[in-house]
Amino acid sequence: MNRSKRRTGRRHPLATAALLALGLVFTGGAYAAFSTTTAQAEPSPTSQETIEEGGKLFQANCATCHGLEAQGTNEGPSLIGVGAAAVDFQVGTGRMPMQMQGPQAEQKPVQFTDEQIKQMAYYVASLGPGPDIPADSLVNGGGDAANGAELFRINCAMCHNVAGAGGALTEGKFAPPLTDVSGVHIYEAMVTGPQNMPVFNDLNITPEDKRDIITYLQYVQDNRSPGGFELGSLGPVAEGLFIWIFGLGAIVAITVWITAKSN
Amino acid sequence: MSTATTRAPQRRTFTAAASNYIDERTSVSTFVKELGRKAFPDHWSFLLGEVALFSFLVILITGTFLTFFFQASMAEVEYDGSYVPLKGVEMSVAMASTLDISFDLRGGLFVRQMHHWAALLFVAAIGLHMLRIFFTGAFRKPRELNWVIGFVMFILAMGEGFTGYSLPDDLLSGNGLRIIDGMIKGIPLIGTWTSFLLFGGEFPGTAIVGRLYTLHILLLPVILLALIALHLLFVVVHKHTQYAAPGRTQQNAVGPPILPIYAAKAGGFFFLVFGVLALIASLFTINPIWNYGPYDPSPVSAGTQPDWYIGFADGALRLIPPGWEFVLFDRTWSFNILVPLVGLGLFIATVLIYPFIEAWVTGDKREHHIVDRPRNNPTRTAIGAAGVTFYAVLWAAASSDIIATHFKLTMEGVIHSLQALLFLGPIVAYIVAKRVSIALQKKDREIVLHGYESGRIVKLPGGEFIEVHQPLDEYDRWKLVSYESYEPLMIRPNARGKITVGQRLRAGMSRWFFEDRIAPVTKGELEAAHHDHH
pLDDT value, residue A9: 65
The answer to whether the CB atoms of A251 and B51 lie below 8 A apart is yes
What are residue B431's phi and psi, to 5 degrees? -65, -45
> Which of chain A's residues have a Cβ under 8 Å away from the Cβ of B44?
252, 255-256, 258-259
Q: Indicate yes or no: CB of A235 within 8 angstroms of CB of B172.
A: yes
- For residue A224, the chain B residue with the least C-alpha distance is B285
Please give the helix or strand (H or E) that residue A167 lies within, else none.
strand A167-168
The pLDDT value recorded for residue A262 is 66
Do residue B88 and residue B237 come from a single domain?
yes
Please state which CATH number belongs to domain A136-227: 1.10.760.10
Higher pLDDT, A104 or A18: A104
CATH topology (fold) of A48-127: Cytochrome Bc1 Complex; Chain D, domain 2 (1.10.760)
pTM: 0.88
Q: Say if CB B299 and CB B79 are below 8 A apart.
A: no
Q: What's the maximum distance between 2 C-alpha atoms anywhere in chain A?
A: 87
Clarify whether residues B317 and B272 are in a common domain.
Answer: no
Does the annotation flag A185 for ligand binding?
no
**B414 lies in which domain range?**
312-328+336-534
| pLDDT at res. A8 | 61
> Residue A177: closest CA among chain B residues belongs to which residue?
B405
Element (H, E) at A154: helix A145-155
pLDDT of residue B491: 82
Tell me, what's the pLDDT at B33? 84
Predicted local confidence at residue A159, as pLDDT: 93
| Residue A36 pLDDT level (bands cut at 50, 70, 90) | low
How many domains is chain B built from? 3
Is the domain of B294 the same as that of B317?
Answer: no
Report the mean per-residue pLDDT for chain A: 86
- B475/B346 same-domain check: yes
Give the pLDDT score at B530.
Answer: 75
Question: Given a cut of 80, is residue A33 above it in pLDDT?
Answer: no
R_g of chain A computed on alpha carbons:
27
CA distance A171 to chain B (A): 5
Where chain B has pLDDT below 50, the residues are: 1-4, 534
Asked whether residue B83 is assigned to any structural domain, the reply reads: yes
Q: How far apart are CA A88 and CA B483, in angstroms?
A: 73
Best B105, B285, B318 residue to mutate vs chain A (most A CBs within 10 Å): B285
For the cut 80, the answer to whether the pLDDT of residue A44 exceeds it is no
Outline where chain A has alpha helix (H).
2-6, 15-40, 48-61, 63-66, 83-92, 114-127, 136-139, 145-155, 157-160, 183-192, 207-222, 236-242, 248-259
pLDDT of residue B364: 87
pLDDT at site B342: 95
Q: How buried is residue A22: exposed, middle or buried, by Cβ count under 10 Å (0-12/13-18/19+)? A: exposed
User: Distance between CA atoms of B179 and B181, rounded to whole angstroms?
Assistant: 5
| Domain presence at residue B149 | yes
| B23 and B154 share one domain | no
Domain membership of residue B253 (yes or no) is no
Q: Average the pLDDT over A111-119 and give the result.
A: 91
Helix or strand or coil: residue B220?
Answer: helix
**pLDDT digit string (tens) for A188-233?**
999 999 988 999 999 999 999 999 999 999 999 898 889 999 898 8
Residues B271 and B383 in one domain: no
Which of B405, B415, B417, B418 has the highest number of chain A CBs within 10 A, making it the mutation to test binding with A? B405
Question: Smallest Cα–Cα separation from A236: which of A224, A226, A244, A228?
Answer: A244
Look at residues B289, B219, B393, B90 and name the one whose alpha carbon lies nearest to residue A162. B289
* CATH 1.10.760.10 intervals, chain A: 48-127, 136-227
pLDDT at B1: 43
pLDDT-derived band at A43 (thresholds 50, 70, 90) equals: low
- Rounded Cα–Cα distance for residues B248 and B255 (Å): 10
Closest to B421 in 3D by CA, of B392, B450, B384: B392
Does the pLDDT value for residue A6 go beyond 60?
Answer: no
Say if residue A160 carries a ligand binding annotation.
Answer: yes
Per the CB < 8 A criterion, the answer to whether B38 and B260 are in contact is no
Cα B502 from Cα B458, distance rounded (Å): 58
Q: Which amino acid is at B518?
A: I
Is B237 within a domain? yes
